[in-house]
Amino acid sequence: ALNGGMLYPRETPTRELKELNGVWSFRADKSTQRDQGFQEQWYKRPLRETGPIIDMPVPASYNDITQDIALRDFIGWVWYEKEIWLPSRWIEASSRVLLRVGSAHYFSVVWVNGIQVTEHEGGHLPYEAEISSILKSSAGSACRITIAVNNTLTLHTLPPGTIDFMKDTNRYPKGYFVQNIEFDFFNYAGIHRPVVLYTTPPVYIDDITVITDVSGNTGLIKYLVSVVGSESYSVTVTLRDREGQVVAQGVEVAGQLVVPNANFWWPYLRNEDPGYLYSFEVMIMGKTENGLMEDVYVLPVGIRTVQVLGHQFFINGKPFYFHGVNKHEDYDVRGKGLDWPLIVKDFNLLKWLGANSFRTSHYPYSEEIMELCDKYGIVVINECPGVGIKKSESFGNSSLAHHLAVMEELVRRDKNRPSVVMWSVANEPASQLPEAGYYFKTVIEYTKHLDATRPVTYVSNANYQNDQGAPYVDVICVNSYFSWYHDAGHLEVIQLQLHDQFDKWYEKYQKPIIQSEYGADTIPGYHSDPPLMFTEEYQEIVLKNYHSVFDQKEYVIGELIWNFADFMTAQSVTRVVGNKKGIFTRQRQPKSSAFILRDRYFKLANNT
């Protein structure tokens, strides 16, 4: 079980926050065994004293920052370090001080002033450690934070990967190895999301869970607050609308708020005021040896319901059709590093496109992105990093245990977000393997046990006849690339094959279906009539053929284009400086298909 609720750090009257973003000291451990840093205990002294260092921005992937090809493709430990001064009131007071990393890829070990404070397995999700006692024992001096990050993937990590040691010295230098991955995006690494220090009082709000319901015009918010640090405390919960008016109050640790004439949280384009958020203010007062202590935390809350019934998907009791995209966290130079201009640009493009939804292919996106989905009413299928699960070994017990732990971390992080309407536990696993049946049954049931309010799916590209996990999902999500990976160049087969795909899946399972990927690589500026692969015309016609079949199937409840934008991948003969299936370029300029999709999405929004 997880340690603590790990609420997103926010400043309130009782909590302070300090961002440690900027330039950090950095060194990649290029020793043959990649273990010099641990042997020599680089965390014990300032990094500059144990060898050469370079400047590295945080947050950012380190891969594309320098001119060093060895760093771009580096596998192993890299070391980050930052020295900072803290306000003395943080150290003198009884405050808890926490160090929180939004995400680092993939395995992290963290030290403060040479003392290990935590380690964490897995990218794309946050971790934190309380460091108050270390700060107190070194009061009056600067604080040194060291983070070692290792991007090595194994058959039991999520995503999985393998290292190949090349033994043939006629062909490879001694000690040569490469990393193999079975997913189609560049394995960017480093500290990808903000590192922050924040404080809470010694008696603090550790976690909040809200579950909302709708009854006529009334909104209901069931809530649970967990408090740590005192046996005897009081709780006050105040719900304010956007104007700041108090609309409901509670004085229990667990209870239900009733909001008459509520403003519900609606998806973008389903309402003139989508993404309505109330502010749910929790105030606690706890008894301690030093008297009464207060803590305040404010959570944005959207009131909405989600349900799968028959062959439809409902939000607030109204059928919902997903017209949206698949994305990546990916951009020039910073790789997967969080970047505010890019985030806001992408939301502007989503709105321009009329997209009401996206899937976080193929890993959880930053909390900063999720926050804006809540605010704008962008509906999210929240995918865990279960991508490229192909080998039989990756369905074994230790992989399964890690997968369940990752689902715990993801649900803990995003359980209160109105934008999240469904969990996706994997993308294109080898779900035809016999062992996949038990594996997905277990992961899906466990996810439902963690969160009984949201449907669960995974994205399949297996054949409907032998997919082993489909019996357990609420919505069938299928990817297909007709006239691309099969029958390359034959646009005329798309409709036939797509009808067949949908009919067969629906006949077998009678569940709603989302086309969770479809598309074609397109080099912007390439033109051809009749259309040829890689031209803008070809992408347009692939899309139009898919659309015409979507429109004929009642039980098709959504379409997500692959992909919103071009993105970097591993080098291969099928990738031209990355995957080019974006309807926008990597620099976010439209290809001609973006206009086709835009027309369609606004029409779909008006028809429903």
Q: Please tell me whether residue 566 binds ligand GCB under the rule CB under 6 A.
A: no
CB of 426 to ligand GCB, least distance (A): 10
**Strand 77-84 versus strand 143-150 pairing type:** antiparallel
Which run of H or E residues covers position 25? strand 22-28
- 549 close to 349: Cβ distance less than 8 angstroms: no
Buried b (16+ CB within 10 A) or exposed e, 221-231: bebebebbbbe
- Per CB under 6 A, the list member of 383, 517, 559, 566 interacting with ligand GCB is 517
- 206 close to 268: Cβ distance less than 8 angstroms: no
* C-beta closer to ligand GCB: residue 200 or 479: 479
CB of 25 to ligand GCB, least distance (A): 34
The total of other beta-carbon atoms located within 10 Å of residue 139's CB is: 12
CB of 427 to ligand GCB, least distance (A): 5
CB of 359 to ligand GCB, least distance (A): 10
- 579 close to 567: Cβ distance less than 8 angstroms: yes
The position carrying tokens 């990927």 is 517
CB of 522 to ligand GCB, least distance (A): 11
Which residues in the 384-443 window bind ligand GCB by CB under 6 A? 427-428
Q: Please tell me whether residue 581 binds ligand GCB under the rule CB under 6 A.
A: yes
CB of 514 to ligand GCB, least distance (A): 13
The total of other beta-carbon atoms located within 10 Å of residue 196's CB is: 18
- Per CB under 6 A, the list member of 395, 502, 506, 562 interacting with ligand GCB is 562
* C-beta closer to ligand GCB: residue 409 or 517: 517
CA-to-CA distance for 239 and 301, rounded, in angstroms? 9
Q: Please tell me whether residue 447 binds ligand GCB under the rule CB under 6 A.
A: no
DSSP 572: B
* C-beta closer to ligand GCB: residue 428 or 559: 428
Indicate which residues carry an active-site annotation. 428
589 phi-psi bin (left φ>0, alpha ψ -120 to 50, beta other): beta
CA-to-CA distance for 250 and 485, rounded, in angstroms? 57
Virtual CA dihedral for 408, 413, 415, 421, nearest 10 degrees? Answer: -100
Q: Please tell me whether residue 593 binds ligand GCB under the rule CB under 6 A.
A: no
∠ CA 142-144-149, nearest 5°, is 165
* C-beta closer to ligand GCB: residue 390 or 448: 390
CB of 475 to ligand GCB, least distance (A): 17
* C-beta closer to ligand GCB: residue 103 or 479: 479
Size of site (CB under 6 A) for ligand GCB: 10
* C-beta closer to ligand GCB: residue 74 or 562: 562
Give Cα 406 to chain centroid, integer Å.
11
Q: Is the peptide bond before 530 cis (omega within 30 degrees of 0)?
A: yes
Q: Please tell me whether residue 479 binds ligand GCB under the rule CB under 6 A.
A: yes
The CA–CA distances, whole Å, from 322 to 196, 316, 357 equal 35, 15, 6
Q: Please tell me whether residue 184 binds ligand GCB under the rule CB under 6 A.
A: yes
Burial class (CB in 10 A: 0-12, 13-18, 19+), 33: exposed
* C-beta closer to ligand GCB: residue 316 or 479: 479
* C-beta closer to ligand GCB: residue 522 or 579: 579
Token digits of residue 352: 């321009």
CA-to-CA distance for 270 and 251, rounded, in angstroms? 34
- Cβ neighbours for 599, distance < 8 A, ≥ 6 positions apart: none
* C-beta closer to ligand GCB: residue 134 or 436: 436
CB of 461 to ligand GCB, least distance (A): 6
Q: Please tell me whether residue 451 binds ligand GCB under the rule CB under 6 A.
A: no
CB of 327 to ligand GCB, least distance (A): 11
Residue least distant from ligand GCB (Cβ): 184
Count of positions (residues) in the chain: 608
The amino acid at residue 319 is P
- Per CB under 6 A, the list member of 113, 356, 461, 535 interacting with ligand GCB is 461
Q: Is the peptide bond before 300 cis (omega within 30 degrees of 0)?
A: no
Q: Which residues bind ligand GCB (CB under 6 A)?
A: 184, 362, 427-428, 461, 479, 517, 562, 579, 581
